[in-house]
Amino acid sequence: MRFIFGAQMAWHGVAVNPLRSGLTVLGVAIGVASVISLMGIGEGARLAVVRQFKSLGSNVIVIKAHDVKAEFQPEEARELLERVSGLEYASPVARTNAVMKWRRARGQVDILGVSSDFPQLRDHKLVSGRFFTPWHVEQRSSVAVLGYNIGAGLLGGRSPVGQTFTLNGQTFRIVGVLEKKGEGHGEGIDDKLIIPYTTALKIAGKSTVDEIWVKAESAKAADLAIAQMGRIYRRKLGLDNKAPVSAGGGEKQGETPGQGSEMGKPVEPQPAPGPETPGEDSRPGLELGKDIITITNLNTLVKEADKANRVMTLLLGGIAAVSLLVGGLGIMNIMLVAVTERTGEIGVRRALGAKRSDLLTQFLLEALYLSGMGAAAGTFAGLWGVGLFNRYGLTAVVSLEAVKVAVMVALGCGLLFGVYPAWTAASVPPVEALRR
């Protein structure tokens, strides 16, 4: 009965000053809403970046030449499958562009030349038709698989498989359409044409590629494969044949271990006396002072992006939490004012037999009422804010963790900042309280 009576008195103390109580609740609500909405934005950005990297495929390693003289022969992709353990698929990559003519429409399109292993290598399914075969690659066939946006735009959403178009005057047959990846995902694959790399090299007028993609069996196999490929390309380029140095998930060929590579500064390549492996020749005339070849594990990029965005989310949450602290100080201020105004009431209650614990409970409950209402209002406002951000193009998600943290901190602030005013009220001597 004492507790119920104290709870009723606490609610009366809140309700008797609606404007003052409302402003206090508003301060807490703003803090809670800020935490939920800002952490929702941060979490949404983190998930968007992680999804963007994951859209490139899992356990994928990208080998890229940054010097024309270090570019790869297409056959090197198959050689890597034979020489490096733990690899499942490999593909040379040729990038070019051409003028595409479809009926009366024409325009410039980006072309991606790959092998028949592309769907398995990049974990990319088809929505219509099939992918081209190794025979198509070998015969330099004029076949194409369309990115989703191009495929959907040709016939107003109907499957264009079996139709033909021209690239630079050469007729191509459509054999398939890739599944949609979404804007900003898969390196813009939805707006590209995918053709055999042999055909792409013919269009580009080249015989070498500057990229090779490989896929490992597992994340562990990918790390081991990077080390092996680092040694292979050091020998091929005629660089110092030592254990490769990993930098940010990738090997940078053009750095000599032990000579500053750990500081992220490429060292000028020093030609070796001669090739160390039969069939592997050094590449003279390479441009000095730059990365010649980089070997990048996309799994590592996903982890680094995830870690960086988590830090950003925590920073946003920390900034928003300052407003929660301000709301808690507002509760303390209002409760101190309430104690001062109600000194006579406190004296009467003490004279009628109320214990110090009763007064302590009453004023703590008042603080909890204010913080609880602020937390509830702030939660609804924060969820509404997340929806508003999504409506206007920003990526934001409702983080249950952020909701729990914000509500618990708000209630904790109510208790923390309500203790001193409650203790002050309970410590006033009855005679002194009646005299005031």
Segment 24-65, tens digit of pLDDT: 888 888 888 888 888 888 888 777 777 777 777 778 899 998
- Range of lowest pLDDT (2-16, 59-73, 147-161, 211-225): 2-16
Taking alpha carbons only, the member of 299, 308, 328 closest to residue 214 is 299
Residues with Cβ within 8 Å of 122's Cβ and at least 6 positions away in sequence, in order, are 56, 57, 60, 186, 213
Residues with Cβ within 8 Å of 404's Cβ and at least 6 positions away in sequence, in order, are none
First to last CA, the chain: 29
- Range of lowest pLDDT (68-77, 148-157, 231-240, 280-289): 280-289
Question: Percent of the chain, pLDDT > 90?
Answer: 23
CB-based contact 399:43 (threshold 8 Å): yes
Q: Tell me the average pLDDT across 215-229.
A: 87
Q: Tell me the average pLDDT across 216-231.
A: 87
Q: What is the pLDDT of residue 265?
A: 33
Which carries the bigger pLDDT value, residue 315 or residue 295? 295
Which carries the bigger pLDDT value, residue 405 or residue 143? 143
pLDDT tens for each residue of 300-332: 777 777 777 777 777 777 777 777 777 777 777
pLDDT tens for each residue of 228-274: 888 888 888 776 545 444 334 455 555 433 333 332 333 334 443 33
pLDDT tens for each residue of 138-179: 999 999 999 999 988 888 878 899 999 999 889 999 999 999
Averaged pLDDT of the chain: 78
Q: What is the pLDDT of residue 93?
A: 93
Residues with Cβ within 8 Å of 157's Cβ and at least 6 positions away in sequence, in order, are none
pLDDT tens for each residue of 345-369: 666 666 666 677 777 787 788 888 8
Q: What is the pLDDT of residue 132?
A: 94
Q: Tell me the average pLDDT across 106-131.
A: 91
Taking alpha carbons only, the member of 113, 117, 137, 136 closest to residue 200 is 113
What confidence tier does 422 reach under pLDDT thresholds 50, 70, 90?
confident
Which carries the bigger pLDDT value, residue 163 or residue 277? 163
